[in-house]
Structure 1
């Protein structure tokens, strides 16, 4: 479980629960520090969340500073409709290479053959199966192009596809940093499920409407966020990347 700590009106984290418990036992954090984790209705003192760790906390004249991070507030997270609008823009852009692929791989001929079979009295189910087999290579190439389009753009210096860029959005990890190629590939692997069914991607994206940090299932699995603001408007704090396991000034 990941814990956020609030001190002096600022939010810090997230930190691992085991680390927070250890810091409580050693007095590195105060039992009066407020904390929150996903699923909690409101911020609570650490003494309330972890009473078993606070009964013997040594008194300290002052608490060491919490590490700074690029972690986003809930207000930074992009909502469902803004992300949907970005998707529409990207979809329209991708129609161009998809059309080229379809035309170059015989989709028009396959469709004409399909219509000829239907008009000739062929069984619609069999005609559709034959058409699906004929256009399958073009479909696979189109899916691959779309997959790489999202994966490479979202781990680029822009941290966004053209659609997200147009709407002023960026993709980050949970601490607001640029994601790696590997994480971007994992995040966008959900798009390949269109090969099997259109329902799974739909549910994945619909989750943005009800999750706390407006994450789709693909965001939750890859531990990513879609935030308001273009990457060019922010200066990444890479020094924060290793600050989650200890407190230091």
Structure 2
């Protein structure tokens, strides 16, 4: 196909359709430029030549799409106003935050809930370095049903441990609904949010805590708690989402933890372990 172009009183060409397309894109000719091709009765604007008209429409559509794309492109804020990046929470941070929260709550609760003096045959907490070893010894003693007084005391202590864990599951939703965090989570710069990115409601947090208590802590029973912790840890580590957050439609994000915050975490843990060891139980 040969097409002639008339510009400035001169006849130019012939050109192929591909050459006409290149000239249109380069702006050398436009739809109003006169043209002629075999079969036409006379010179006409290029837009009236059917083969050229489709080229013009295609080029104009491409320009329009590019203009729309530029107008829809979001304007980036200046660097100073860009909010800090929130990262998916790390499993170690989440478990560390929960450990700190439970330690603080149990220390406070133990100062209010005073246990009776143990029988002479019962393990003495002063003989153990931490609560875990003490409770393990109590569990062993609780299996001996021959001593009623000893058995009754053992169950009271075990009820205290389970009760403190369960009670925290009821108190934590209040903190999350009001502030999106707890002290332990604040230490690790963790924040719990709802589906809309804001603070989750109390009942959503309560539902989350119940699921966490059952599936993340094995309802507080050994060895279910360790099994539940194991699977929960690796699920969070691999997918970044815990089962209870997935079901409750909550999200746990974490701001970057710098050296200063890491030092604060270490100091808090040392202080809590010291309180656990030295405070009367």
TM-score, normalised to structure 1, is 0.49
Relative contact order (alpha carbons < 8 A, sep ≥ 6): 1 or 2 greater? 1
**Could you say which structure has the higher helix fraction?**
2
TM-score, normalised to structure 2, is 0.44
